[in-house]
Each structure stands twice: as structure tokens, then as C-alpha cells.
Structure 1
Amino acid sequence: MPTHTPMPPQTRNRTYGQYCPVAAGLDVIGDRWVLLIMRELVAQPSRFTDLRRALPGLAPNLLTERLRDLQAAALVESVDVSESSSRSIYQVTDKGLKIIPVLRAVARFGVDYLDPATTPNLPAEGLSPARTARAFLLPWLKPGAPHMRVRLTVPDGSSADVVVDGRRTDITDADPGVAPDVELRTDALALSDVRRTGAPLEATLAGSPTAKDKFLKTFDLVIQ
């Protein structure tokens, strides 16, 4: 017999009440801030204070409520940092990792509505390389992508490595002891313009001709 996951008690009073998978999914992740909380936790386990720092417009009491609902839905779990400390971190569960393709689909949809002029929380120095990769590279990653290590370097000189192995993708601090297949030097605003318009990317791409061609096809980019 097929099984189903009952809706967590906290969200029953907010249900759409429709026998539809879209509606049922929105019963769990459709509340304001939920997808952004999941975006942060998919990137890395975080303390409550880390989430507050990453989501400055989210009130502490509402963050507590959203985390409680996500735990009830078995998408997030709280883990004690150590036996000697009362502090804990929040992390996504295996079930919660199913949100990754949803986040990437929303990113591809939302980029058409992205306007730096109306985004007050955009840092003057731009996004970090890791955030830039998650926002403007990974959502366009082709299924079954070949193994590669991509180093993304932003104008302030900081870098992150995007490691693709065909089944999963990790983003780590750039490892100076490991040479990437390609290095892309650009920033979030340039990539967002490309994703919105489909125009060629004005950037520096270093690597062998074969590696550069593989990278451009894998992430659906054209370099000017």
C-alpha cells in the first residue's frame, strides 16, 4: 500500500484543502520566508543567529515559528553542537534535500523579476562567490553534468570552488592546492544580466579549450 506523509499539525489551519500536489506542497513550504530559510540551510547547517544574519528582514519570533513548522514537516532538524553546550544548529534532513530542485526552479523563474535597483539588501561589494554560484550557476546546471571543478572569483578577489561530480554538487572555499578545470572571473550582477537577457557574458574564463567548452555547455553560458 502506498504511504503518505500527514501534514504537520502546525500547518493544518493554513491548508489550501485541495487534493492537488501543488497545493499540498504549498501547505508545507508556501509560507513567507520558508524557501529562503531552506535556501540557507541547504547551503550549510546554521545556528539561529546565522539565519537571522542572513535574513535580516525576518523577525526572531517568526523565524522560530517557521523553524518549528519545518521540523514538524521533517524537512529540518536541530542538532546539539556538543554535549557540553546548549547551543544547537539547524540542518536539512534527507527529506529536506528534495527542496533543492524546487529552489533552482524558483531561481530560474525569479531571475526575470530581479532588479538590483529595488533590492535594498544587495551589498555594495556584491554577493560572495558562493552565493553568486548558488544563485546564477547551479540553477542552470544541466542534468548528468560531467565531473569538473569550477573556480568562481568575484571582483574583491575572493573565490569559491564549485565541484560537480554528476550526481551532486558542492560549493567550498577555493582550495589553492587543487587546480580547477576552469576559473571564471565575474560577479553576480553580470551573471544576473545574462540570465535575464540571454546575452553573452562579459567575463574572463581560464582553462583548456576542452574544459572551457564543457563548462559553458554545462551551465548554459556564452562568453563574449
Structure 2
Amino acid sequence: MSGTRYAQFCALARAAEILGERWTLLIIRELLLGQKRFSDLSDRLSGVSPTVLTTRLNTLIESGVVRRVDLPPPFNAQVYELTPIGQSLKPAIRELIRWGGHFIFPMRPDDEFDPDWGLLALDASARRTPTPAHKIVLRIKHKAAVASFLIEGGKAGTTITKSDGPGSSIIETTFDVFLPIISLKLPLERAMAEKRATVEGSLRIARMLPRFFDRSERHR
């Protein structure tokens, strides 16, 4: 294993040795969304050099957090995926996303965004207590890209899957508009009037969107 070392017999220090280097947490983010080829990671982590990406992946592999997998024909490709111990990071990543929400605004002019990242952010904000037993499709758009998520309520709370439905309502907006809607800082009707969001299907159910999420104050 290479990288930072802390001469401390402390579990947090050990975790920081593995996860604390630049780009490592974002590699974990990408692999939580599914298997990725090296080229996929390089494309989605704009700014990381091939050398740094290789070093970070090797450290994660040596630590047992990530593994390489050879896909069978017809793919004939090598991909990276999280091991079970890597997957066990998901609750910690969820809490880091929630904590990071305090600092996400304002959006910086040079910020990039991939709508697929919305899946982890939605999961981090989802209520874990009973929510309305309805289904809403949320389409997050950014430039030419769109990702669709099915938001489903029930007795166990809100579940989020990457899907285009079906749902009783379809809401399309950008992620920076979605966040103030669910935190009740921006009424859905106002976002619609300002043409920052559109709704297809039941407006009554669409208005319930904030009830599917934890509305605690965490966005500035």
C-alpha cells in the first residue's frame, strides 16, 4: 500500500490512510453507482491524471476495498467494482453527502455535474420513516444529460431506484432546483411558474415530493 501514513493505532487513522487521498472518495462514489472501466472513471473524474487514478485504484485494491473483474464475452473488458467491504462504506458515504449539503451552495461556475450522481444524493436525503404510498418519477437534467429516478414511498420509508417509472407524477428539473424544493425553500408551483421545473401527471402527488425526504436544514 502506498500513500499517507499515520503512526497511530487508531481505526480512524487507518480509514484516513485508505480514503483520505485526493480523488479516492470520488472513485468510491462512482463504484457505488456500478462497475466502471478505467476509461469510465477517467471520463467521469475530469482532472485526474491516469497516473494518479492508477495509484488510487491500486491502493484500494491492496486494501481490499476494490477489485478488478474480467467481464466474459462478448464484453471482453476489465472493470473495477467494490468488494463487500467497499460496499459497506455506503452508510458512511451517505452521511458525508448529508454533511456536505451544508456547503453545496452556491454552485461554482466551473462545477461539473453528472445527473447519475443524483442517485446517491437522493438516497442520502430519503426518509427512513413512513412516507406517502405513491410513486413519483424525478428527471434530473443537466445540459444534454438526463437521469430518471423512481421515488417510491411506503411504510418502510422512501426507496430510490434509477428508473423512468411508471409513476403518478413526473417532475423534471435540475438538481440545484430540486434541493430547495425538498427543503421547502422553493415551492414547486413557483419553480414551475419560473420554468425551472415541469410536472406531468398528478400535480397533487407532485406537491408531496418534500414529504419523501428528510427536510432538516442542511442546505444554505
TM-score (norm 2): 0.73
Deviations 1:62-98 (A, max 9, x none): 1011111111111111111226776301111121111
How far has the Cα of 1:170 moved from its partner?
A: 5.4
**SS of alignment partner, residue 18 of structure 1:** coil
Structure 2: 5+ residue stretches without partners: 192-197
Query: 2:185 corresponds to which residue?
Result: 199
- Counterparts of 1:183-222 in structure 2, within 5 Å, are 183-193=170-180, 199-202=185-188, 203=191, 207=202, 213=208, 215-221=209-215
**SS of alignment partner, residue 90 of structure 1:** strand
Query: 2:149 corresponds to which residue?
Result: 161
- Counterparts of 1:5-154 in structure 2, within 5 Å, are 10-11=1-2, 14-82=4-72, 87-122=77-112, 127-128=114-115, 130-135=116-121, 137-143=122-128, 149-154=135-140
**SS of alignment partner, residue 91 of structure 2:** helix
For the residues of structure 2 that align with 1:49 and 1:201, how far apart are their CA atoms? 40
Say if 1:109 and 1:201 are closer, same or farther in 2 by CA, change over 3 A.
Answer: farther
How far has the Cα of 1:210 moved from its partner?
A: 7.2
Q: Aligned partner of 2:176: which letter? A: L
Say if 1:190 and 1:82 are closer, same or farther in 2 by CA, change over 3 A.
Answer: same
How far has the Cα of 1:38 moved from its partner?
A: 0.5
Contact 1:132–1:187 at 8 Å: present in 2 too?
A: no
For the residues of structure 2 that align with 1:133 and 1:43, how far apart are their CA atoms? 8
Q: Aligned partner of 1:44: which letter? A: G
For the residues of structure 2 that align with 1:168 and 1:38, how far apart are their CA atoms? 23
Structure 1: 5+ residue stretches without partners: 1-9
* Number of residues of Structure 1 aligned to a counterpart in Structure 2: 202
Q: Which structure 1 residue ranges, 4+ long, deviate > 6 Å from structure 2?
A: none
How far has the Cα of 1:152 moved from its partner?
A: 0.9
Say if 1:59 and 1:157 are closer, same or farther in 2 by CA, change over 3 A.
Answer: closer
Query: 2:194 corresponds to which residue?
Result: none
For the residues of structure 2 that align with 1:117 and 1:159, how far apart are their CA atoms? 19
TM-score (norm 1): 0.72
How far has the Cα of 1:122 moved from its partner?
A: 2.4
